[in-house]
Amino acid sequence: MPDVITRFAPSPTGYLHIGGARTALFNWLYARRTGGKFILRIEDTDLVRSTPEAVQAILDSLTWLGIAWDEGPYFQTDRLELYRKEADRLLAEGKAYRCVCTKEELDARREAMTARGEKPRYDGRCRDLPPEAAEGKPFVVRIRTPLQGQTIVPDLLRGDVVFENSGLDDLVLVRSDGTPTYNFVVVVDDASMGITHVLRGDDHLNNTPKQILLYEALGYSLPRFGHFPLIHGMEGGKLSKRQDDVSVTAYRDKGYLPEAMTNYLVRLGWGHGDQEIFSVAEMQAHFSLEHVGKSPSKFNLERLQHLNAHYIKAADPFRIAGLLVPFLAKRGIAAEPSPWLVSVVRTLQERVRTLEEMAGMAEFYFRETLPDPKAAAKFLTPEIAPALEEIAGELSTLDLFSSSEMEEALQRVVERRGGNVRIHQPIRVALTGRTASPGLFEVMELLGRDEVVRRIEAAARRIRS
């Protein structure tokens, strides 16, 4: 058995959150760095909110990021008999008890505690209830939490974190409908799967002392715990659905590359010197918990875009052409990977930050678009129309539609017009609708002679009309 076994255990109630993706990545990298094992477990005991679609979204997101699990996915709904047996064992050993308090009674007591300035918690009145007193009544199963003393969480990132037992509740382990609760099943699963390192976000820190007490009650060995600081949104505070894109799929669907996303996530709270660009092999070789930061990280979209631009620029244009096809389809452009599309990609790779941007910038290659009004007003003027018509005529006679032949044809027109006419930008606007584009002759060569002539003639007609 490997010395290190980590896990990622998402709840399938929606997409894979950016914070969850980073947790999965850190666990995976730590397992790879130490020669250990990484397990995927789906925590689907919330039968109302868990969906097969959400499970698939999580699996797809992890696969897209390149995070490969060694075991699983395991599903908690397949392990309910194990949880029932362990709950029965705690009851038999007197470490848990049946509680018959109704929701109305509990709410009333909590309100009274709040009115007295006390922290609302279960008052323990069923702790000494004999088992037969619960017969025929709905009941939950609660852990018998120590009333005094402290529970210490030995955190790999924070050091020892101390919790007073008097502030902890007699946690519900099994609901009245027989379904187990989160903290209970997590402990049973982690122990039975041999998890050695429980590494997760610090929003789980308050659960950890409760889980430690459960480990002790069940007689399990404690894993090592580490809690990562959370990721804050662009406007500060916890990542918010209202302010930020918080799912992995949102970035995939906007045209970010998985290697850019993984590289960005690993740098959200971890570093290796001043290095910014990491291959997967480098992440696996260098990742360590010692270099995980102690403070929250701020999500910076500009930094992610910068990384994505770097990876698009460095990527194989054949691969990018294949990835670009669905983004073109969203714009109503039917395309297939082809040598021509690869050539289009090559002209755009150094100019875009996302595949979505690339699809927008590539649109003029597939269909003529009306020029930007400001560009048209500046460059498609009545004075330039005769020159455009003359250029179209020159280009239409070319047998070899190469950069050198096109340049010579344009130069002939310029010389006939006294050498003082500027034609490159008017042609660019006529062909692409913009003042900025890939190299003019690259664009013309990819569009082809007939399309170039047609668009230039059409621009001249629009000017004259």
Catalytic residues: 241
Contact 302, 310 (CB under 8 A): no
CB-CB neighbours of 14 under 10 Å: 17
Residue 225, H or E segment: strand 224-228
Contact 184, 218 (CB under 8 A): no
**Structural Rg of the chain based on CA atoms:** 32
Enter the DSSP assignment of 181. P
Decide: residue 405, CB within 10 A, 0-12 exposed, 13-18 middle, 19+ buried: middle
* Token pair of 266 as six digits: 């690993």
Distance CA 162, CA 142 (A): 23
Edge-to-edge, what's the strand order for the sheet holding 5-8?
5-8, 37-42, 71-75
Residue 300 amino acid letter: N
Which one, of 295, 242, 284, 288, lies nearest residue 262 by Cα?
Answer: 284
* Token pair of 138 as six digits: 């709905």
* Number of DSSP helices (H) and strands (E) in the chain, helices first: 19, 12
Q: Give SS3 for 211.
A: helix
Cis peptide before 73 (omega within 30 of 0): yes
Contact 389, 457 (CB under 8 A): yes
